[in-house]
Amino acid sequence: MITSSSNQQMKNITALMKKAKERKSQNLFVVEGRKMFEEVPPEWLSKVYVSERFLEEPEAEQLLAGKIYEVVADAVFKSISDTQTPQGILCLVRMPQYPLSDLLRGDRTHLLIVESIQDPGNLGTMLRTGEGAGITGIIMNRTTVDLFNPKTIRSTMGSIYRVPYYIADDLAETIGELKRQKVGIYAAHLKGQMHYDEPSYCKGTAFLIGNEGNGLSDEIAGLADTYVRIPMEGSVESLNAAVSAALLMYETNRQRRRNGK
């Protein structure tokens, strides 16, 4: 049993929680909680840690059957947890790698492209909502918040395991490649002349969503085939980035369901 927070394994978990650079160098990220543990693809699972108290739960033996795990003293487990009320189980998970081609499905392609999103909760919510709306993947640039930030992971509610992603070194170049693959590029933009529910999204489609405070950069917005806008009542100028993304993704889902796509 691990009884000290100065244990090297505990220090490593803390480093993985706090530093994107460390996560990248080890190709590992941290997930907490029973649901996130149960849904980890077996081949992704690297290491499991449980608290003393967790082992006392009736389901613990069945849940951990066949798994190699390390027991951590309750106080130490609480000190390394990123949540206020730890559930007593924490895992180190290998990062998957996806080529851009894994996100493309011909006319079924449905992508969310985010530029410089800064809020971990927003990014995680987009991924989770995107799974619900049937996206085939999410693309982000290097200045977007780390996808494997613990708060982002928590907000995905498990969608991190199922939605392919691609981190673009050059977002403009990646968008250019999507265009060559006949994917229509739509920007949620205040200058849009069409309401978001007017175009047809029944063929390959990608939506551009910009930074929470500044929106899309002129360079990336200029690559869109079409600007669309979300109509606003009252004095509201814009919506939360994750809410805007949800409306666009679900409109695509609605159109494709209606057309039997």
For 100-258, which CATH class? alpha beta
Average pLDDT over residues 200-206: 98
| Segments making up each domain of the chain, as ranges | 8-94, 100-258
Q: Is the pTM of this model over 0.85?
A: yes
Q: Residues 147-170: pLDDT tens digits?
A: 999 999 999 999 999 999 999 999
What is residue 236's predicted lDDT score, i.e. its pLDDT? Answer: 85
The chain-wide mean pLDDT, for the chain, equals 96
Instruction: Name residues whose C-beta falls within 8 Å of residue 161's C-beta, 6 or more positions apart in sequence.
Output: 39, 40, 41, 44
Count CA atoms closer than 13 A to 183's CA, side-chain side. Answer: 30
Cβ–Cβ < 8 Å for 66, 97? no
Domain 8-94 CATH superfamily: Ribosomal protein L30/S12 (3.30.1330.30)
What is residue 190's predicted lDDT score, i.e. its pLDDT? Answer: 82
DSSP character string of 207-236: EEE-BTTTBS-HHHHTT-SEEEE----TT-
Q: Do domains 8-94 and 100-258 have the same CATH topology?
A: no
What is residue 15's predicted lDDT score, i.e. its pLDDT? Answer: 98
pLDDT over 90, % of the chain? 94
pLDDT band at 218 (very low <50, low <70, confident <90, very high): very high
Q: Residues 124-140: pLDDT tens digits?
A: 999 999 999 999 999 99
pLDDT band at 109 (very low <50, low <70, confident <90, very high): very high
What is residue 238's predicted lDDT score, i.e. its pLDDT? Answer: 82
